[in-house]
Amino acid sequence: MQLNPVFPVNQSLFDQLQQQSCLPDRSAVQQALSAAKPDFADLQALLSPAAAEFLPQMLARATQLKRQRSGRTLALFAPLYLSNLCSNECSYCGFSRSVAMKRRILTIAEAQQEAAAIQALGIGQILLVTGEHQRKAGVDYLLEVTQTLRPQVAKLLLESQPLGIADYQQLRTAGIDAVMLYQETYDPQSYTRHHTFGAKADMAYRLDAPARVAAAGIAQLGMGVLLGLSDWRTDVLLLAQHLRFLQQHWYQLAFTVALPRLKPCAGQISQHSGVSDRDYLQLLCALKIFAPELSLSISTRDSPALRDLLLTSIACTASAGSKTQPGGYAVAPESLAQFSIDDERSPAEIAAMLRRSGIAPVWQDWHPLLGRRAV
Ligand code: SF4
């Protein structure tokens, strides 16, 4: 059995970093902004309250770094929700097992129909999303969907329950190009409070999942936390440390980072992240300055005005025209969504906005007729 290196995180580390998170002063921020290779102390400074007044400089620096790496482009993708079945209880999610709602899992034919509807919007990069249901939406189902869609879709990404190395290897062979895994929070107490039932309650297993994806040879890994579950400064700092830890072991991995903010969802009381738009912009810029190689991904959870700013400056990828319910594009558009979305513009409208700002939308960066991209 292959043993993965374990990313070390515990309550006392989280508490210690949280206590330090507000300490940096203006001079620490200025030093971080001029550092050729910012370290963790620089990132801490850029995330601190003292950095708030430097937001215009941070945005300019992060935008410059993004354009040096990826030019004036933005890759568009869309999520394809395969199932809203879930055996977990997460306090912030409309798919939690206790939420009374109509549950469904798409048949293979329905998944094909949904993929075709997304492609008809022009989008060739599809993120397959499931609730976490090992028995009904387990690896056999995911393999069948992947093998069926692979010949027609340029790039397939997966967001499902964490799996084992052998499962990820099979999915890679079948056609999955990238895996998204949200840790939700690195604060053990908050993690336990918000994940009260099911396999997801095992924080250590989830924490180890990105290493299993890397060990399986999948070339692109998406990571993130759900902002608002705990102290956002500390969660983002530990996410960056986790990313560096993985890079030390798998230098060839490409990283995408997505940082959704807590939103109201079906069946749950209204809840908000407490992370303002300014905080959000600050933390995204801080991460990009710290790790210019990572690709920031922006979802339709954010408002059109904020998305316009992010998509034309520091973001590398963004979802567009998203439906967050299984069958939402073509099969059953009336079913309940996982969370509310703010930007309901079509992909064509997003593309037009990008072009007006001199950014080229990338609908797909590979063609399925060419076969699998060499990784
Ligand atoms: S966040 Fe994921 S695991 Fe938790 S209830 Fe929602 S779908 Fe299930």
Distance CA 318, CA 198 (A): 30
124 pLDDT higher than 90: yes
Exposure b/e, 340-355, CB count within 10 A at least 16 = b: ebebebebeebbebbe
Distance 50 CA to ligand 1 centre (A): 35
- With a pLDDT cut of 90, the percent of the chain lying above it is 85
- Cβ atoms 84, 131 nearer than 8 A: yes
Note the pLDDT tens digit of each residue in 178-212. Answer: 999 999 999 999 999 999 999 999 999 999 999 99
Q: What is the DSSP letter of 92?
A: T
In this prediction, residue 269 carries a pLDDT of 46
3-state class of 119 per DSSP?
A: helix
- Both tokens of 43, joined, read 């990132």
Atom of ligand 1 nearest to the CA of 198: 3
Q: How many helices (H) and strands (E) does the chain have?
A: 13, 11
Q: Which two tokens stand for residue 261?
A: 């903010």
Q: Is the pLDDT at 93 greater than 70, yes or no?
A: yes
199 Cα–ligand 1 center, Å: 10
What is the band of 365 on the pLDDT scale with cuts at 50, 70, 90?
A: confident
Mutate to test the pocket of ligand 1, among 200, 225, 268, 271 (most ligand atoms within 8 A of CB): 200
155 CA to centre of ligand 1 in angstroms: 24
Residues with CB under 6 A from ligand 1: 86, 88, 90, 93, 95-96, 131-132, 200
- The CA 89 to ligand 1 mean position distance, Å, reads 7
Q: Are 359 and 73 in contact (CB under 8 A)?
A: yes
Domains of the chain (ranges plus CATH)? 69-367 (3.20.20.70)
pLDDT digits (tens, 9 = 90+) for 28-57: 999 999 999 999 999 999 999 999 999 999
Contact 229, 194 (CB under 8 A): yes
Residue whose CA lies nearest to ligand 1 atom number 1: 93
Nearest CA, atom 4, ligand 1: 90
Q: Cα(45) to centroid of ligand 1, in Å?
A: 33
- Is the pLDDT reported for residue 264 higher than 80? no
pLDDT of residue 374: 53
Which two tokens mark 265?
């969802």
